[in-house]
Structure 1
Amino acid sequence: MNPVKYDVIIIGGGPIGLACGLEAQKAGLKYVILEKGCLVNSLYNYPANMTFFSTSERLEIGEVPFVSNNAKPTRSEALEYYRRVAAHKRLNVRLFEEVLQVMPKDTEGYEVISKKNTYETDHIIIASGFYDIPQKLGVKGEDLAKVTHYYKDPHFYAFQKVLVVGANNSAVDAALETWRKGAEVTMVIRKGEIGRRVKYWAKPDIENRIKEESIKAFFNAEIAEIRENEVDIQTPNGIETIANDWVISMTGYQPNLAFLKKIGINLSEDEIMKPEYNDDTMETNLKNVYLAGVICGGMDTHSLFIENSRVHAEKIAQKIIKTPQLA
């Protein structure tokens, strides 16, 4: 069977991937969005009770209004919004279809091989986000079933001994929510304070819970080893061993930079590993291959969000419609 040909293939079905699909649709381009998981997979993996820092209008795509019942929209509202956008605009999205390979053709364009199909295209947009690869602790016992890098719902941890690793929004949410459901919560924090990026309504809450010792916190500390019923913590005063049922490791996530490197996109040689692309067109060092969204920041995953990367979709669409093949 011959590969299906598209003007544009968009890798990633998150908010920015959907925004790219909307711009391609508006420009009259034949496109498809390929997503390795469910629709807006990264948002789906957020904690069930998560509240965004941004207001709803800053999360809008395709000029479709996002109406929220709250000053700050919730995860469930965002899932509903992006699902309705995809349905209302009839976006061509193929879910649970991971892209395995991208190869240049002998002539021009690319062949894209997914788990389900083979495609041909003139242009590729990579909007793959960063929530799929957790930053590992690198300690003995991390592979135990009691350890998770994804926190979902606090009820599961009721009346259990829970250790939360991290000091930013995800860790603070996990610590506060599980404590309020009756868990005995301990936090392990590498630095000497709660993260400065923590949401303004949550930061004083967690700091007060730590101060009153409702939640125990080890600062300037790291996990040394995890065992079935306890955890060793390396503190400034030496190893401290505590009883433990569950470890929630909220140490962050990273984009799939190995995929970019595999297909030939240049990365900076420092620890950020920022991909090479043109700020005006979002085109990488590979002809007609573009980046959109948080993937553009490399390991600096806190520099780009939905609200400040929606414009990437417009830049890319403008570049594509000006190419000779499609002019």
Structure 2
Amino acid sequence: MENKKDIIIIGGGPIGIACALECKKRGWSYIVIEKGALTNSLFNYPKNMTFFSTSEKLEIDGIPFISNKPKPNRDEALEYYRRVVTSNKLDINLYETVTKIDKNENDFTVLTTKGNYSGKHVIISTGFYDIPKLLHVPGEDLPKVTHYYKEAHNYALQNVVVVGASNSAVDAALEIYRKGGHVTMVVRGESIGERVKYWVRPDIVNRIEEGSISAYFNSEITAIKPETVVIKTPENTVNLPNDYVVALTGYLPNFKMLEANGIALSKDKRIPIYNPETMETNVKGLYLAGVICGGEETHKWFIENSRIHAKLIAEHIEKQLK
């Protein structure tokens, strides 16, 4: 059975929720379709993660976000967005995956693992946390390799290589070290990333300088073996004893979904083409919202600067209805 809606929103993260709120305020029928848990990306963040943004910058639709400290943690964000959804009785289907979007003459048909939906407009707000940037080295498929980090306890007393120098890599390295893991960082660049949270960067720099955490800069892993990793450094090749590899090298949007639905991408960094004033793509009636708008530039959009996307889209749709 096909469900007819005015708006179909794909992705139940903070920006997808913001889009749903805009629809509800205007009395439009809508559905949010999320393939995982509510705010699935946030749910999969490390348990002890603290946001770079302050709580008021994570608020949507002017609904206050009260946290114990100026910078909220993962659990506080999950509670906030969950309460926004339940208090406003938003129409969200969880654990339902979109398999296809068909553009018809006057509307869209969205096919999922649980049914079909038709809508006049579609908003894609799917983020970029599901597809990791791979190392593309032999042994990357070994069970000891992960591209996600949840908590440190299981790495206690183990030789752990953390790949990367972003916020996630630095947080993982520090937590694993403090839980008794033997941490070595492998970093392509010459130093810890400048985007690392300002209150965390001195900590990791000092731990490296004192030797508590080892680090190879301007280096990369060339092979992963059951008991070692091979690291190419500017000086030589190092065979390092190893139990686990935590490769936090970033993530990518689902480009296949965008391209399959006719959304044009720039050639350089595969950035989706859209009108920044309306968020409408080259496909009439198909909009983008949130961090997916940055394509491979995954550091361009965050919750705090993409909250406005929901209102831009709603205002553009509203003008067309008049």
The TM-score with structure 2 as length reference comes to 0.99
Aligned to 1:268: 266
C-alpha separation in 1, matches of 2:103 and 2:207: 55
Amino acid at match of 1:196: E
| Post-superposition offset of 1:180 | 0.1
The Cα of 1:257 is off from its aligned counterpart by: 1.4
1:310 aligns with 2:307: yes
Among all aligned residue pairs of Structure 1 and Structure 2, give the percentage whose two residues are the same amino acid. 57
Look up the match of 2:289: 292
Q: Tell me the residue number matched to 1:17.
A: 16
Query: What root-mean-square deviation, in Å, do the aligned CA atoms of Structure 1 and Structure 2 show?
Result: 0.7
1:218 aligns with 2:216: yes
Distance 2:15 2:112 in 1: 20
In structure 2, list runs of 5 or more residues that go unmatched: none
Matched letter for residue 65 of structure 1: P
Give how far 1:78 is off: 0.3
* Equivalent position to 1:320, from 307, 317, 320: 317
- Alignment partner of 1:180 is 2:174: no
Give 2:256's match in structure 1, choosing from 231, 255, 258. Answer: 258
CA shift, 1:258, in A, is: 1.5
> Is 1:301 equivalent to 2:303 in the alignment?
no
Partner of 1:204 in structure 2? 202
**Cα deviation code 1:114-165 (max 9, x no counterpart):** 1111011100000010111000000000001100000001111111111000
Match of 1:114 in 2: 112
Q: Give the whole-Å Cα distance in 2 for the aligned partners of 1:20 and 1:199.
A: 29
Deviation digits for residues 95-121 of structure 1, max 9, x if unmatched?
Answer: 11111100112x310110011110111
Could you report, residue by residue, the CA deviation over 1:71-102 in whole angstroms, capped at 9, with x for unpaired residues?
21000100011011110011101011111100
Deviation string, structure 1 residues 25-52 (Cα, Å, up to 9, x no partner): 1111000000111000111111110000
Q: For the residues of structure 2 that align with 1:231 and 1:273, how far apart are their CA atoms?
A: 32
TM-score, structure 1 length as denominator?
0.97
Alignment-derived partner of residue 150 in structure 1: 148
How far is the alpha carbon of 1:173 from its aligned partner? 0.3
Q: How far off its partner does 1:64 sit?
A: 1.1
Q: Which residue does the alignment assign to 2:129?
A: 131
Whole-Å Cα distance in 2 between the matches of residues 281 and 200 of structure 1? 34
Whichever residue aligns with residue 322 of structure 1, its letter is K
Tell me the SS of whatever aligns to 1:322. helix
AA at the equivalent of 1:268 = S
- State which of 137, 140, 150 in structure 1 corresponds to 2:138: 140
Counterpart code for 1:28: G
SS at match of 2:28: coil
Q: Distance in 1 between matches of 2:112 and 2:168?
A: 32
Deviations 1:282-313 (A, max 9, x none): 11111110000111111101011101110000
For 2:239 and 2:70, locate their aligned partners in 1 and report how far apart those are by CA, in whole Å. Answer: 42
1:319: Cα distance to partner? 1.0
Written as runs of structure 1 = structure 2, the 5 A alignment for 1:66-77 is 66-77=65-76
Task: Give the letter aligned to residue 92 of structure 1.
Answer: D
1:283 alignment counterpart: 280
Letter in 2 for 1:202: V
- Give the counterpart letter for 1:45 in structure 2: N
Partner residue, 1:4 = 3
SS in 1 for 2:60: coil
Structure 1 residue 104 and structure 2 residue 103: aligned?
yes
Runs of 4+ in 1 over 6 A off after TM superposition: none
- Classify the secondary structure of the residue corresponding to 2:246: strand
Shift, 1:321, TM fit:
1.6
Structure 1 CA distance for aligned equivalents of residues 131 and 238 of structure 2: 29
Q: What CA distance in whole angstroms lies between the structure 2 residues aligned with 1:131 and 1:292?
A: 15
* Structure 1 position 84 matched with structure 2 position 83: yes
Inter-partner Cα distance in structure 2 for 1:232 and 1:86: 47
Aligned pair 1:44/2:37, yes or no? no
- Structure 1 gaps, min length 5: none
What is the Cα deviation at residue 237 of structure 1? 1.4
